[in-house]
A = this chain, B = another copy of it.
Amino acid sequence: MEIKIVYMTAGNMDEALRIAKVLVQRRLAACVNIIDGMRSVYEWEGTIQEEREVVIIAKTHADCLPELEEAVKSMHSYDCPCIVGVDVSGGNNAFLDWVREQVGPASLRTAD
């Protein structure tokens, strides 16, 4: 199927929107959904941390994942941001085709 949902988190809404717009402008994601007000629980240096974060869900093609990852890491305020891919299997084919048309690693796309 090669279409992927990429689940990420960001520190705040501004950062999430900035990342989302760059990914769509550079055609590394067809669309990006952002959910504010998430609470993240994790351990850091022996103590349990609880932070406010924002969820970012991008829809893209597997071929774009390496470039998407580099782009997010270059923009992100974290040293080691959560960027995890999940394979899509089934769904609205017209939507999946739209995702394919909207994205493509720069190397494959002729100048727009």
Interface, chain A (partner B; CB < 8 A) = 3-7, 9, 13, 17, 20-21, 24-25, 27, 30-43, 48, 50, 53, 55, 57, 59, 62, 65, 69, 72-73, 80-92, 94-96, 98, 102
Determine the main DSSP class of A at the interface with B: strand
A20: nearest residue on chain B (CB-CB)?
B41
Complex copy number for this chain: 3
User: What are 17 sample pairs from A and B whose C-beta atoms fall under 8 A apart?
Assistant: A4-B90, A9-B33, A20-B39, A21-B50, A24-B43, A32-B40, A33-B38, A43-B102, A62-B90, A73-B92, A80-B94, A81-B95, A83-B92, A84-B88, A84-B90, A84-B92, A85-B90
